[in-house]
Amino acid sequence: GQQLNQSPQSMFIQEGEDVSMNCTSSSIFNTWLWYKQDPGEGPVLLIALYKAGELTSNGRLTAQFGITRKDSFLNISASIPSDVGIYFCAGHPGSQGNLIFGKGTKLSVKP
């Protein structure tokens, strides 16, 4: 089946540093979504990408839809303590209703 490889699995950074994480797939996706999940809560949508090459920002977050349509990255600039959480990429293959998720990147921020 289709799988998403998300890296890194975890990151420990200092407050103020920039963060970069990415997601790759073995097959083409028509949509890439990035979510953040806090412990015991549901994922919260951060950014949605719909076109190959698209670069979209949401405050300190920037995400890009890879030209090959098989990858995406998420950057967080000037990290703050509330950025702590697990970040998931998710892809929509287009032919089905469901989203396929990566295993997440756990972000820890030292004040």
Partner 1 sequence: DTGVSQDPRHKITKRGQNVTFRCDPISEHNRLYWYRQTLGQGPEFLTYFQNEAQLEKSRLLSDRFSAERPKGSFSTLEIQRTEQGDSAMYLCASSPPRRTLNTEAFFGQGTRLTVV
Task: Name the residues that contact partner 1, by CB under 8 A.
Answer: 4, 6, 30-31, 33, 35, 40-45, 48, 50, 88, 90, 92, 94, 96-104
Nearer of residues 18 and 51 to partner 1, judged by Cβ: 51
Of 29, 46, 26, 57, the C-alpha closest to 105 is: 46
Nearer of residues 41 and 111 to partner 1, judged by Cβ: 41
CB of 44 to partner 1, least distance (A): 7
Of 39, 89, 42, 41, the C-alpha closest to 61 is: 89
Positive or negative, the CA dihedral 27, 28, 31, 33 is positive
Nearer of residues 64 and 105 to partner 1, judged by Cβ: 105
CB of 80 to partner 1, least distance (A): 23
Positive or negative, the CA dihedral 107, 109, 63, 34 is positive
